[in-house]
Amino acid sequence: MAAKLITGALVSTFVESTIDNLASRFGDIFRGKKRNKKQLSNLKVKLLSVDVVVDDAEQKQFTDPRVRDWLLAVKDVVFDSEDLLEEIDHALSKSQVEAESQSATKKVWISLKSSFATFFENEIETRMEKLIEDLEDLATQSHVLGLKKVDDDVGVGSGSELPDSVSNLEHLRSLDLSCTTIKRLSRNICSLSHLQILKLNYCMDLEELPSNLHLLTNLCRLEIIRTELTKVPPYLGKLKNLKVMMSHFNVGHSREFGIQQLGEFNFGGSLSIEELQNVEYSLDALEADLKNKTQLVKLKLRWRRNENSIDSRKEGDVIENLQPPKNLKELSIYSYGGKRFPTWLLENSLWNMVSLVLKDLSIHTDFHGNKYSSFKSLETLVFSNMRQWKKWECRAVTGAFPHLQILSLTNCPMLKGQLPELLVPLKYLLVFDCEQLEAFTVGALEVQLRDSGKLKLEWDTMKSVEMVGHNMEASLVESVGHIISVTSLEHLNINSRPKPISDNSVSLWNFPLHLFPTIKNLVLNELRNLQMLSQGLIHNHLTRLDIINCPKFESFPGKIHMLLPPLQNLLIEDCPSLESFPVGGLPSNLKYLTIINCSRLIGSLKGALAANSLLERLSIGQVDAESFPDEGLLPVSLTSLTMSHCPNLKTLGNKSLYRLSSLKTPTLCDCPNLQCLPEEGLPKSISEFSIRGNCPLIEQRCQKGGKDWEKIAHIQYLYIRQ
């Protein structure tokens, strides 16, 4: 977020909407890790302590350069805080997505907590402490500068109008009101006769601009990016030297606010033109004169779809007359109801374009360039929800898309034929819900497929492949039949989502791990007939293996402890036929183990984990046992133990838990019949203990004053639902 003036509105709105939103979505995680939740709360308090004096600083910055410097420092810390919280949000969201992809059952929180905890412990705590220290320094400086809280009706940050005092600054040349709660500018602003630059970016409450703004004859730059404004005042086009930066323009019905108004301005940067269905006559679009807006680099054209009133001929003429400048870099077209692509797009007149997005179009004709060249600069090409599009044929085009790096096709159910033959492999290919695509070979470094017809992959070019859908298992079986060895692939995720199995269904019963000697992460999900993994030689790269919902899976490679020495993360879920680990146990480098709904596998843990095991985290879910863990079952290296959704669990092994001298974070979740903690208590090494979900009996005993309270009173961070 670019701004040079920070206001109380930015700080408080951001903090409350981001921190509180995270806390509400992932409350269990924050409450379970009280130290981290306290950090978040402390960050919020420190930000708000600075917030209360920002309004006063805004008034004084014009006369005191030290205050201006202080405001800029506030900006840096606030934006650093925003970046940090966005990273937290991203990490939590990623964990949630990963967990949901692993299982549709209720124990999603297991994966969520473990990956988030690692993220938090490794980096976030240190950065959060640094931000809090910086905010404390800023609060101290505010006292030295004599800044104080002002009344709510004073100042831009908390008020809705520009203070009258600003109009007295007759020599002011630049005014930046970005990120404020200002709702309107008074007509008095036109007394600033020397004003050249006016910035109103991220003013989300801004309702309108004064109608006499054109009287600022020296104004040469107006920025209204990311506001709710969709119109500009009339006559502003009379300022011939004015460059306008705005996010979006809504086409009105009257000529005063119609598409023609765009022709009066010199737009720069990016512009989204909305409500294009309101263009009354196609020649009106010609008056927008987009092809001469040479400083425009990013353009979005958007119609609002009404299936009952689409005039496809008029919309086709309108888009023809909205030809962008030749040096445009990014173009997006949404909900266009015409039946053909504009000729200026197909004739490759946008020779500098690097990104093209086409979404919700009614077009069913071919898409290609002319016979001599085709989008020579294009790097990103996206087709989405093109439900009528039937054909993409580029065989007559020489050197189609020579620099294309990203290709995405989603929900194009009628698209047939083959994709264009590309000169170089893509960096990223995504094909979702395009089931009629014919067989062809495609190369890319990273691939995501879901119900993608008969695509064939150039395995030798790929580093990451995700295949989801009903026909993906058959596609993999066919590919495996032709593979000698794939020496570049590092990540493979197969989620078959099978239809009811019939006699002629094609399925994979043996996954040939030896064909993928460089693979690091392997996820096999819903391969209904998969029975085993085969590996004859030592595999030196596999660090993560997930096997999920494979009901016939019954064996790992023999001597897995020797064949997969780098393996660190193993997840086994809903594999009821798997009764034991191989003779010799699991690899000694294994650090994270998750076992869900595989009750018969639990008993073999003792022999599977060597005395010198490095296992740090163990998550157990949906086991039938009444008591866990048994004596000597778990290694002393364990630092985290999670037991979830165990309805029959009544007791925790008497002395077995107490002997886990490295255990720091045990967690219980949805164990409704668990009666009490072990008589010996919990290890002294524990620093955090959580009881979540439906655990009524143990919750009552662990409340302050309860029968088990003395066993946990020494633990620093407790989360026990009240």
Q: What are the helix (H) ranges across 596-644? A: 599-602, 605-608
**Arithmetic mean of pLDDT, 633-650:** 91
As given in the structure block, the two tokens for residue 571 are 């997840």
pLDDT band at 482 (very low <50, low <70, confident <90, very high): low
Q: Using pLDDT thresholds of 50, 70 and 90, give the confidence band for residue 2.
A: very low
Reported as a single tens digit per residue, the pLDDT across 655-702 is 788 888 999 999 999 999 999 999 888 899 999 999 988 999 999 999
Residue 397 CA, distance from chain mean position: 36
Mean pLDDT of 575-579: 91
The domain spans of the chain are 8-159
Q: Which of 149, 157, 224, 184 is nearest to 9 (CA)?
A: 157
CB under 8 Å to 673, separation ≥6 — which residues? 647, 648, 649, 650, 697
β strands within 491-568, DSSP E: 491-495, 510-512, 521-525, 532-534, 544-548
Output the pLDDT for position 471: 63
Q: Is the pLDDT of residue 371 over 50?
A: yes
Percent of the chain having pLDDT more than 70? 78
Mean pLDDT of 254-261: 80
Q: Is 244 helix (H, G, I), strand (E, B) or coil?
A: strand
Residues in contact with 190: Cβ distance below 8 Å, sequence separation at least 6, in sequence order:
210, 212, 213, 215, 216
Residue 196 scores a pLDDT above 80: yes
Q: pLDDT per residue over 541-569, tens digit each?
A: 999 999 999 999 998 888 888 999 999 99
54/147 Cα distance (integer angstroms): 8
Q: In sequence order, which ranges of 273-311 are alpha helices (DSSP H)?
A: 282-286
Q: Please say whether the beta carbons of 363 and 388 come within 8 A.
A: yes
Could you report the per-residue pLDDT of 333-357, keeping only the tens digit for each? 999 988 888 888 877 678 889 999 9
- What pLDDT score does 544 carry? 95
Length of the chain in terms of residues written: 722
Q: Which of 670, 648, 707 is nearest to 28 (CA)?
A: 670
Q: Is residue 105 over pLDDT 60?
A: no
pLDDT value at position 162?
73
Under the banding of pLDDT at 50, 70 and 90, the label for residue 190 is confident
pTM of the prediction? Answer: 0.71
pLDDT value at residue 497: 73
Residue 313 clears pLDDT 50, i.e. is over it: yes
For residues 558 and 90, give the distance between their C-alpha atoms in angstroms, rounded to a whole number: 39
* Helix (H) / strand (E) containing 384: strand 380-384
Whether residue 158 has pLDDT greater than 50: no
For residues 108-117, average pLDDT: 42
The average confidence (pLDDT) of the chain is 79
Instruction: Name the helix (H) or strand (E) containing 652.
Output: strand 651-652
With cut-offs at 50, 70 and 90, classify the pLDDT of residue 103: very low
More confident residue, 223 or 499: 223
pLDDT at 654 over 60: yes
Residue 221 or residue 256, greater confidence: 221
